[in-house]
Chains A and B, each alone.
Chain A
Amino acid sequence: MKNYQSSDPFKEARVSSGCAHMNDQDDPVTMILRLKDVRKTAHNWKTFQSGAAPGRIVIPSEVNIRDTRQIPFEVDPPLHGAFRSLLDPWFKRPLKAQYQETLAQQVNALVDDVLKADSIDVVEDFALCLQSRALTLLLNTDADEADTWIGWGTHVFRSEDDPLDGDKAAILYDYIDEKIKASSPNPEGDLYSVLLAAEVEGKKLTHEEIKGIMILTFAGGRDTVINAVTNTVSYFAQHPESLARLRNEPEIIGRAIEELIRYFTPLTQMGRVVTQDTQVCEHAIKADSRVSLCWASANRDESVFESPNDVILDRKLNPHVSFGFSHHNCLGATHARQIMRVLIETLMAKVGSIDIIDFEENIEYLGEFERKVGFHKLHVNIHPR
């Protein structure tokens, strides 16, 4: 069995119907499966709302475990745009040379460490560490903060036996509360200080708004980046020729990043709450019900992507929606893309081959569908060049 494969469980439903249904804690979801429909729905923020009850657009719903509104993704225009204007320049900092150099140092050190080990679990020993350390750059905070976050494990809301672990979420909330209280307004400082100094629509941000932004920054880029990194290592383990090709054709790295992110689609779907009776691809949708924008299905839409179930490292046209679409596209996408670039460049430089010893897949159960989104465990031997 080739475990790098990320299957397309939505194919039949996407072709035949365009929609599917799943029950999420007695608050049903109509899943939208075709790329064009996903895009149109994502764009129509008036009918398909993000600013519903906090946690309701997330699937599985987090309504029962949180009251804090995550910002900007649970806010609709025009306020959404005001928050994005504040946050976008900060979240574009990964384009700066200094940021990239420090990220490269982090990843190089981590790869050197795992090369010395007999074997590692890519999830715990590599992807979690990489994501946590890189997050110190995004927050512009002390490097040793990463050790605390590594201790939380791979998901801030989920534990092994509970997909919605309120106690675990409380650890993050208490931590963020303390950090905000301990910070002072400083436009040159870490993200907490920058937010304390900032204004949106002429008003200082409240503690709750800053908390909502920080929770999103922690939660939104956690398991998604871990999935992207782990799946990528798994892919190179199964395809050593791909690493060799990238060494010979470094000009295709940008395309390879987009293709791996399309193929693996680290976030399967995101919901919206419908504000009025409407329809999506001829399916009636009732007001106050939920739809999902199923990025994972849209990214395999055979009417748009040639050979959608193959990884084509130099795919030239790749209109994927792995980072979402329209107003709510992923705030952390620049950071995520830089992580992928530095990771791939470091593996190209240092790694000869990767042997998979054993693994445990991370399967999502979504109504009639089962989708592999990544791994719970991936034990490998990594051999230097």
Chain B
Amino acid sequence: MAKITFMTQGNIPVVVEGESGSVMALAVENNVAGIDGDCGGVCSCATCHVHVAQEQYALVGEASEIEKDMLELDDDANEYSRLCCQINITPALDGLVLTVAG
């Protein structure tokens, strides 16, 4: 079980818990504002873009090349950007804070 906090664009924290699957699917199930996940998790729509807190970035690790290519042209992307459809929930993510990108 991992407890994950999404900070929405309105700076409202949404705390959700999950055991498995992708972080995007967990966000969509819990109606986290700003996470659409239109493509269902195959890295084709970039509507699940989040910023990982700098000190926690090592927990989730770097984006794959394909994911980086998706993020490259996103105006809101920075070095801590991830598409959360590509982050799998594990107990190690307990306490993770993700900011929903604009």
Chain A residues close to B by CB (< 8 Å): 36, 39-40, 43, 254-255, 257-259, 262, 304, 315-321, 323, 326, 329, 333-334, 337
Q: Which residue of A lies closest to B83 (CB)?
A: A319
B70 neighbours in A (Cβ, 8 Å): 319
Known: A36-B69, A40-B73. A317 touches B64 (CB 8 A): yes
CB distance from B30 to the nearest CB of A (A): 15
Known: A43-B73, A317-B66, A319-B66. A255 touches B42 (CB 8 A): yes
Within the assembled complex, what's the spacing in Å between the Cα atoms of A315 and B44? 12
Q: Does B39 contact A (CB under 8 A)?
A: yes
Are B66 and A304 in contact (CB-based, < 8 A)? yes
Residue-by-residue, is B42-73 near A (CB-CB < 8 Å gives 1, otherwise 0)? 11110000000000000000001010011001
Are B38 and A319 in contact (CB-based, < 8 A)? no
Chain B count of residues within 8 A CB distance of the other chain? 13
Are A318 and B73 in contact (CB-based, < 8 A)? no
Chain B residues close to A by CB (< 8 Å): 38-45, 64, 66, 69-70, 73
B41 neighbours in A (Cβ, 8 Å): 254-255
Within the assembled complex, what's the spacing in Å between the Cα atoms of A317 and B43? 6
B69 neighbours in A (Cβ, 8 Å): 36, 39, 304, 319
A-B residue pairs in contact (CB < 8 Å), sample of 26: A36-B69, A39-B73, A43-B73, A254-B39, A254-B42, A255-B41, A255-B42, A257-B40, A258-B42, A262-B44, A304-B66, A315-B42, A317-B43, A318-B39, A318-B43, A319-B42, A319-B43, A319-B44, A320-B44, A323-B44, A323-B45, A326-B73, A329-B45, A333-B38, A334-B38, A337-B38
CB distance from A328 to the nearest CB of B (A): 13
Query: Which of A316, A323, A329 lies in contact with B42, CB distance below 8 A?
Result: A316
Within the assembled complex, what's the spacing in Å between the Cα atoms of A36 and B72? 10
A317 neighbours in B (Cβ, 8 Å): 42-43, 64, 66
Closest CB pairs A-B (n = 9): A254-B40, A318-B42, A43-B73, A258-B42, A319-B44, A319-B43, A317-B43, A320-B44, A317-B66
A255 neighbours in B (Cβ, 8 Å): 40-42
B43 neighbours in A (Cβ, 8 Å): 317-319
B38 neighbours in A (Cβ, 8 Å): 333-334, 337
Within the assembled complex, what's the spacing in Å between the Cα atoms of A316 and B88? 13
A316 neighbours in B (Cβ, 8 Å): 42
